[in-house]
Structure 1
Amino acid sequence: MIKVTAAILIKDGRVLIAKRKANDKLANKWEFPGGKIEAGESPEECLRREMREEFQVEIAVEEFFGESIYRYDHTTVHLLAYLAHLEKGELKPTSHAEYRWVSADELDKYDFAPADKPFVEKIQSSRVIE
């Protein structure tokens, strides 16, 4: 099982979602950005590092949002999601095909990776985005 993080990054009543590249294991699936937790790294440190690497921005990690465990064919993922907001920088994706800022109501229009789907439902039901 690998532990990974996801940022529920909120700005102006919208949440950031990112589309995986066509050559990724979960090709063309949408996700909440983040990545694998490295040895000795906290989930919050991981999210800040991943957002610097994948989008060249600084974020503030806030409260824990939830977790999801999903068994893919190639591995089992334990996904930890945190609410976050942008502190500094303009998004410049380096690891994704594209990204979008979307409202809670728009999330249903996107084909999310299975491990991320519980967070779509929680965002829509919790009214975390106002």
Structure 2
Amino acid sequence: MNQAPPTKFTIRVYGIFTNDQNEILITDEFQLNTQMTKFPGGGLHFGEGTIDCLKREMREECQQEIECIKHFYTTDFYQKALFYDDHQLLSIYYTAKLKPPVNFRISTEPFDFKVMENGNQSFRWVKLKTLNPDELTFPIDKLVAKLLKRTEI
């Protein structure tokens, strides 16, 4: 028996934040009982534009305003959502800058929090030239990391 195709979409919006040292901001999180390393961002709310989503996510996650926002990549292939059986995932990535001053703690260690508890999160800079796509958790993030390594941003 054939399974019905996904009928719903999950839309995620991510930021590719760089600094003057040619580093990329990534986040290490414990969400949905899962350790994940990814680009900062999150889910689009109904009625919200994609850039507004990214701005909201950065305010919610780290009390940070952002600027210089430019589209970088939108998923151009089918990707099943990992956490929902009947959803197709669409991910949109923007390059952007953190508006000074930086209002949140940036660590040098992955998963720099005391306990693996849902909602815990830490941020760190990774040099673009040493960014290993395989260190990222999700398939589209891995692809975007490879694109970043081939593209000057």
How many Å separate the matches in 2 of 1:63 and 1:110? 25
Confirm or deny that 1:30 pairs with 2:42: no
- Structure 2 residue aligned with 1:115: 140
How many Å separate the matches in 1 of 2:25 and 2:125? 5
The SS at the match of 2:54 is: helix
1:90 aligned residue (103, 116, 128):
103
CA radius of gyration, larger in? 2
- Structure 2 residue aligned with 1:16: 25
Would you say the 8 A contact 2:105–2:123 is kept in 1? no
Over the matched positions of the two proteins, sequence identity in percent amounts to: 26
Confirm or deny that 1:52 pairs with 2:64: no
How many Å separate the matches in 2 of 1:63 and 1:44? 9
The SS at the match of 2:122 is: strand
By percentage of residues, which structure has more strand? Answer: 1
How many Å separate the matches in 2 of 1:101 and 1:115? 19
Give the AA of the match of 1:9: F
Would you say the 8 A contact 1:26–1:113 is kept in 2? no
How many Å separate the matches in 2 of 1:26 and 1:127? 35
The SS at the match of 1:29 is: strand
- Structure 1 residue aligned with 2:50: 43
Give the direction of change, closer, same or farther, for the CA distance of 1:102–1:7 in structure 2 (3 Å limit): same
Measure how far apart 1:96 and its partner are.
4.5
Give the direction of change, closer, same or farther, for the CA distance of 1:50–1:61 in structure 2 (3 Å limit): farther
Unaligned ranges ≥5, structure 2? 1-8, 107-118
Computed over aligned residues only, the root mean square deviation of the Cα atoms, in angstroms, reads 2.0
Please, what TM-score do these two structures have when normalized by structure 1?
Answer: 0.84
Aligned length: 125
Give the direction of change, closer, same or farther, for the CA distance of 1:34–1:61 in structure 2 (3 Å limit): farther
Would you say the 8 A contact 1:36–1:46 is kept in 2? yes
Please, what TM-score do these two structures have when normalized by structure 2?
Answer: 0.73
The SS at the match of 1:15 is: strand
